[in-house]
Amino acid sequence: MNELSHPTPTVTCGPLPASTKIHVAGERHPGLRVPMRRIALHPTAAEPPVTIYDASGPYTDPAARIDIARGLPRTRADWIAARGDTETYAGRRVRPEDNGFAEGDRLTPEFPALPIPRRATKGAVTQLAYARAGIVTAEMEYAAIRENLGRSTAATRDGEAFGAAIPDFVTPEFVRDEIAAGRAILPANINHPELEPMVIGRNFLVKINANIGNSAVTSSMAEEVEKMVWAIRWGADTVMDLSTGRNIHNIREWIIRNAPVPIGTVPLYQALEKVGGVAEDLTWEVYRDTLIEQAEQGVDYFTIHAGLRLHHIPLTVDRVTGIVSRGGSIMAKWCLHHHRESFLYEHFEEICEIMRAYDVSFSLGDGLRPGSIADANDAAQFAELETLGELTQIAWKHDCQVMIEGPGHVPMHKIKENMDRQLEVCAEAPFYTLGPLTTDIAPGYDHITSGIGAAMIGWFGTAMLCYVTPKEHLGLPDRDDVKTGVITYKIAAHAADLAKGHPAARLRDDALSRARFEFRWEDQFNLSLDPDTARAFHDQTLPKEAHKVA
């Protein structure tokens, strides 16, 4: 184990304004300490505090001792061990190519306190397998408690849910049932014991994902860990590490050991690095090795572009923007070069065997997603979706958890068809969309072009929305872009929760609106998604009257 040659970098810590981290105990699992954020209001409000969902992890808890060289507490380790269906083992050895052959000063130090990996002794150790067996895991109860936002009473129901069935209260049994039905996933690799479990499904709060990741040219371990901490501070429910540069393996280890949220990856990106960036040189063996490498580290979900088949590729020739998914274009290149069916498709059942041994969830990638308004909802896109539906059934047969990735660039009038088809073709497996962007003409503002589509498709039933930052199509997001992307997508997700009629979503809106109407400025700031910006924008020189225009 390497010693760190520099002081351990620090990350952004501390509570948000007027906020206290509270912990709710479980009933079935009394040891659970489920975090929520309680926002105190001014005494003149004569109102109880507002309790909200808290994805930010221990970083916002002043009582937590944060040291990224130690990582977060491995709370789930006991739960996992107690189930008696896994074993520790030596694990795969790290190889030079895992870090892009980085050496010496250019090699990101290994995480100092590497855990020993675990795998299933036999069969599936997935939350889906447990749910089907009627077991309510600690993870399920944990996720259930989070969904209720500390409520003890049901709020007014008012919404149009398009067939979603959101209960007044989420019980652990409800979480189990939704997972068992395949309508929800609880991404929770057994090698990610630092995780604070959460659930993704259309009968739960709409979740959002933030992408981070270094590239060949920029950024370090410290930056990436901070980006993850920063993204969850503002509300990201999961984080995808899309690194493509050197040190992929070591940076990922640092991220996962410090991540209270599920971490997703696109293993194809690292596999491609291992073959020198030449798509044609990819092999099933390199890919398989990468899956195991990342599963042992604790990645919670993998984007796998197994739905892009050789015969789909000709369907893209008349497109305005061809194949824009990076994973999709890599696989299309491979298929065309070898004139063979994709190795991801051909080895799909073997992939399932790996996924179920660690409980890595599938995020079935849409390699043929439209890259422009012109290509939305075309034959290529929907042909791939059909394959994703087939693969969902295969994954379920192996007790693997599955969500389905969706577009992309879609004008408003074609958004609902995406949702409706996905529900039908993929048997209600959770949908996880990128935006969609509702016009192509605003590079620099694609958080907004896509926030419109994200709010709508979230309303229609998408379970998780992958953020788009202002730098989309133009460059790599910095810290400000990550925050802007996350806040924009929290808006979209919350607008969707309101429209679906989530029983508790409106409590925060109403509390903020009362504060606004009563000129309780501090309460208005503190209840907002971004108190810092709201406060900064407030101009003390304004006459009160001007603010009454709401």
Residues 473-492 within binding reach of a copy of itself (CB under 8 A): 473-476, 487-488, 490-492
Distance CA 401, CA 262 (A): 14
CB of 116 to a copy of itself, least distance (A): 35
Residues 75-104 binding a copy of itself (CB under 8 A) are none
CB of 49 to a copy of itself, least distance (A): 15
Determine if 448 is a binding residue for a copy of itself (CB under 8 A).
yes
Determine if 438 is a binding residue for a copy of itself (CB under 8 A).
yes
Distance of CA 493 to the CA centre of its chain: 13
Pair 501, 203: CB distance under 8 Å: no
DSSP annotation string for 299-352: --EEEE-TT--GGGGGGGTT-SS----HHHHHHHHHHHHHTS--HHHHTHHHHH
* Strand 402-406 with 431-434, pairing: parallel
Burial degree of 304 (CB within 10 A; 0-12, 13-18, 19+) = buried
Determine if 545 is a binding residue for a copy of itself (CB under 8 A).
yes
CB of 487 to a copy of itself, least distance (A): 6
Closer to a copy of itself by CB, 21 or 490: give it.
490
- SS3 state of residue 265: strand
The 8-class DSSP code of residue 437 comes to B
Instruction: Take residue 167 and report the two structure tokens written for it.
Output: 């209960």
Determine if 524 is a binding residue for a copy of itself (CB under 8 A).
yes
Determine if 534 is a binding residue for a copy of itself (CB under 8 A).
yes
Closer to a copy of itself by CB, 355 or 512: give it.
512
Instruction: Take residue 371 and report the two structure tokens written for it.
Output: 């890259």
Residues 206-265 binding a copy of itself (CB under 8 A) are 215-218, 244
CB of 48 to a copy of itself, least distance (A): 16
Q: CA gyration radius for the chain?
A: 22
| Bridge partners, 53 (sequence order) | 36
Determine if 494 is a binding residue for a copy of itself (CB under 8 A).
yes
Closer to a copy of itself by CB, 107 or 491: give it.
491
Determine if 181 is a binding residue for a copy of itself (CB under 8 A).
no
Stretch that binds a copy of itself, among 11-19, 165-173, 191-199, 534-542 (CB under 8 A): 534-542
Closer to a copy of itself by CB, 28 or 101: give it.
101
Determine if 440 is a binding residue for a copy of itself (CB under 8 A).
yes
Distance CA 58, CA 170 (A): 24
Pair 471, 477: CB distance under 8 Å: yes
Q: Which amino acid is at 140?
A: M
CB of 529 to a copy of itself, least distance (A): 5
Determine if 541 is a binding residue for a copy of itself (CB under 8 A).
yes
Determine if 321 is a binding residue for a copy of itself (CB under 8 A).
yes
Residues 333-392 binding a copy of itself (CB under 8 A) are 371-374
Q: Which amino acid is at 137?
A: T
CB of 158 to a copy of itself, least distance (A): 8
